[in-house]
Amino acid sequence: MEAPPVTVMPVTGGTINMMEYLLQGSVLDQSLDSLLHRLRGLCDNIEPESFADHELVYLLKGRQGNPFILRARRSLAHPTAPWHLRYLGQPEVGDKSRHALVRNCVDVAASHSLPDFLNEMGFRMDHEFVAKGHIFRKGALKVVVSKLSRALVPGNTDNTEPLSLSYLVELSVLAPAGQDTVSEDMRSFAEQLKPLVHLEKIDPKRLM
């Protein structure tokens, strides 16, 4: 195999800056079925995917400033699949008229040595949870409806307890920085889900 031409070489040095556009909401357990029904009608006509993931949130504390947060996720349904490592930046303050929360996002697929490796880098696991639910797609839009549970015994994903009586609903798009038209598409999609679920721009800092 020849060394690939420059155009298909992996991007190095962070030249492509991907942003996550996000709207969040929740539904009570008893309303789940009607929401799923509506989503099946609105979204791309493919079999909705179910998932069961275990997410570990790691912190790296520096001498000053906020800790650096990384999220490591593995699929419980497909234990041989690669781990998913995710960095999420601070939400952009920017334009108030923008309809969605916008934050920097780096997704990395990684081998199964990830937890050991993060420990060696100095990261420490802060908390973990299990997310089970369904994914829907409509073009670039992604809708994730999931139930979050906490692990009663650290590291044991069989013994969990639901965090609430609701399902978390997230509508997100990954796009290069500056493509603010996607937030318009998200808003009109979110409108179509009313009144089953109200998807809003939620600032995570407000909840801390």
Residues in touch with another protein (CB under 8 A): 1-4, 8-14, 16, 60-63, 65, 68, 85, 87, 89, 104, 106-111, 113-114, 116-117, 120-122
- In the complex, least distance from residue 76 CB atom to another protein, rounded to whole angstroms: 21
Give the whole-angstrom CA distance, residue 26 versus residue 166. Answer: 6
Instruction: Compute the distance between CA of residue 59 and CA of residue 124 in angstroms, rounded to an integer.
Output: 5
Type and span of the H or E element at 207? helix 204-207
By beta-carbon proximity to another protein, the closer residue of 61 and 150 is: 61
Least separation, in Å, of the C-beta of 137 and another protein? 21
Q: How far is the CB of 78 from another protein (least distance, A)?
A: 16
Q: Closest distance between another protein and the C-beta of residue 140, in Å?
A: 18
SS3 content of the chain, % helix, strand, coil (to 5): 20, 45, 35
Distances (CA, A) of 136 to 33, 114, 169, 174: 14, 28, 11, 15
Query: CA 202, CA 152: separation in Å to the nearest integer?
Result: 28
